[in-house]
């Protein structure tokens, strides 16, 4: 999976980035499609029209991949799952969820959100393309048949519909971590009531499908048909799927050690918190200088968690204003991500980006009152404990 990306823009606070491999694939796609559009338009090598259509097609394709991932993201956000970002890379897109789903129904909804968006794109492209070119010409253009006599725009819409149809079919294969595999995991989770065993099942399907792609790509396409490029590409996809499935299995084994353990079971129940009415001058002297911690939770008079204040924000207050500015005035903008419910299953913190960034999170009760602090060290100690008998296969 992509390990780094440059930020392109943000959508509803979600960071949209592109891995460097995305630019390579974008160039190759433009190069390949320009030849197809040159034949469709009957243009010469110097014409700019085929390159413009190829560029537009490539950007629209990756735009549709982004919409697919946003489908997952919107459903996740509506179900209380944060999204740290979406990354476009050479094999499509990846939406990074802050935590795992808390129920089979939530898992199913998040998994199906992307394919539903892609299916809608396919239907729209088919409707518009057939209206512009007719069913026969649309089918030829969708199959990238350079003998089609349709217009360049209609050919572009047909290709966009066909490539998204392939993406939809591939993603619905019941092999983790594909969307179909996540749907299979949701169904297995619902039937068995055990997320760990459901993940093992879906990951095993993913490893099997990855092996099939490797053998099909290297054995049939590359050796038997002599299609080296397609064979290698399919084999690489298979290797990546198998690696991702193995990673899911490893994470499942880690998560099994935390089964039945909640945040409240391992948190520090004596947190140091700053009253929201305390002046910044006293905050610096009595907390940051005393404890040397980078941030503290801030609470109101009823111990309700309001957010966090970090040392940098306190230091930026001019000395002349520190006596009149309170801790509640300088809460961090992303304070909402700095707390979790004390009854949250501990395994759901394994992918929590805020915990990784801050090193600790405030644990609150149902009324939002601060009850403790869960740290990375506490999570690590829980992971080093032997797995509970109920979590064994």
Please say if the pLDDT value at position 391 is more than 60: no
Residues 48-63: tens digit of each pLDDT: 888 899 999 999 999 9
Q: Where are the domains of the chain?
A: 6-172, 187-256, 263-391
Neighbours of 230 (CB within 10 A): 12
Tell me what the pLDDT averaged over the chain comes to: 85
Q: Mean of the pLDDT values across residues 364-391?
A: 78
Q: Mean of the pLDDT values across residues 87-116?
A: 86
Answer with the residue of higher pLDDT: 120 or 357: 120
**What is the fold, at CATH topology level, of the domain defined by 263-391?**
CBS-domain (3.10.580)
Residues 246-297: tens digit of each pLDDT: 887 777 777 677 777 889 888 999 889 999 999 999 999 999 999 988 889 9
d(CA 65, CA 59): 10
Please say if the pLDDT value at position 392 is more than 50: no
d(CA 341, CA 9): 31
The set of residues, in sequence order, having a beta carbon less than 8 Å from that of 121 and lying 6+ positions away, is 64, 67, 160, 161, 164
Please say if the pLDDT value at position 64 is more than 50: yes
CA distances (Å), 356 to each of 183, 201, 335, 379, in order? 28, 28, 14, 11
Q: At what angle do helices 104-133 and 179-192 cross, to 10 degrees?
A: 140
The set of residues, in sequence order, having a beta carbon less than 8 Å from that of 105 and lying 6+ positions away, is 186, 190
Cβ 107 vs Cβ 186: under 8 Å = yes
CA distances (Å), 1 to each of 58, 145, 244, 256, 290, in order? 21, 33, 8, 24, 42
SS3 for the chain is CCCCCEEEEEECCEEEEECHHHHHHHHHHHHHHHHHHHHHHCCCCCCCHHHHHHHHHHHHHHHHHHHHHHHHHHHHHHCCCCEEEEEEECCEEEEEECCCCCCHHHHHHHHHHHHHHHHHHHHHHHHHHHHHHCHHHHHHHHCCCCCCCCCHHHHHHHHHHHHHHHHHHHHCCCCCCCHHHHHHHHHHHHHHCCHHHHHHHHHHHHHHHHHHHHHHHHHHHHHHCCCHHHHHHHHHHHHHHHHHHHHHHHHHHHHHCCCCCEHHHHCECCCCCEECCCEHHHHHHHHHHHHCCCEEEEECCCCEEEEEEEHHHHHCCCHHHCCCCEHHHHCCCCHHHHEEECCCEHHHHCCCHHHHHHCEEEEECCCCEEEEEEEHHHHHHHHCCCCCHHHCC
Residues 154-206: tens digit of each pLDDT: 889 999 999 999 999 988 988 888 899 999 999 999 999 888 788 888 888 98
Q: Which residue has the tokens 């394919």?
A: 115
CA 230 to chain CA centroid, nearest Å: 27
Model confidence at 389, in pLDDT bands (50, 70, 90)?
very low
């Amino acid at each position: 999976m992509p390990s780094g990306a440059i930020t392109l823009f943000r959508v509803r606070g979600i960071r949209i980035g592109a891995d460097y491999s995305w630019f390579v694939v974008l160039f190759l796609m433009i190069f390949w499609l320009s030849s197809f559009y040159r034949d469709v338009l009957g243009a010469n090598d110097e014409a700019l029209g085929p390159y413009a259509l190829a560029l537009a097609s490539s950007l629209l394709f990756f735009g549709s991949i982004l919409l697919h991932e946003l489908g997952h993201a919107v459903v996740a956000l509506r179900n209380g799952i944060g999204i740290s970002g979406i990354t476009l890379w050479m094999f499509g897109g990846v939406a990074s969820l802050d935590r795992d789903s808390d129920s089979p129904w939530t898992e199913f909804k998040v998994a199906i959100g992307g394919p539903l968006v892609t299916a809608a794109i396919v239907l729209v492209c088919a409707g518009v393309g057939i209206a512009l070119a007719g069913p026969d010409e649309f089918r030829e253009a969708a199959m990238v048949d350079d003998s089609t006599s349709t217009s360049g725009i209609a050919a572009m819409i047909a290709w966009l519909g066909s490539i998204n149809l392939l993406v939809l079919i591939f993603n619905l294969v019941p092999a983790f971590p594909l969307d179909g595999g996540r749907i299979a995991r949701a169904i297995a989770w619902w039937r068995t009531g055990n997320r760990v065993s459901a993940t093992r099942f879906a990951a095993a399907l993913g490893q099997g499908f990855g092996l099939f792609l490797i053998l099909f790509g290297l054995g049939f396409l590359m050796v038997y048909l002599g299609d080296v490029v397609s064979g290698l590409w399919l084999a690489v996809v298979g290797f990546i799927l198998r690696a991702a499935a193995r990673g899911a299995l490893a994470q499942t084994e880690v998560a099994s050690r935390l089964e039945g353990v909640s945040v409240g079971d391992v948190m520090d129940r004596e947190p140091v918190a700053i009253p929201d009415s305390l002046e910044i001058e006293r905050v610096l002297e009595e907390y940051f200088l005393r404890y040397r911690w980078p941030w503290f939770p801030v609470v109101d008079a009823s111990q309700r968690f309001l957010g966090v204040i970090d040392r940098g924000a306190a230091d930026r207050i001019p000395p002349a204003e520190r006596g009149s500015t309170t801790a509640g005035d300088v809460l961090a903008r992303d304070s909402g991500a700095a707390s979790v419910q004390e009854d949250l299953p501990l395994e759901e913190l394994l992918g929590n980006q805020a915990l990784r960034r801050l090193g600790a999170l405030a644990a609150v009760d149902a009324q939002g009152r601060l009850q403790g602090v869960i740290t990375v060290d506490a999570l690590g100690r829980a992971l080093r404990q032997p797995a509970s008998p109920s979590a064994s296969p």
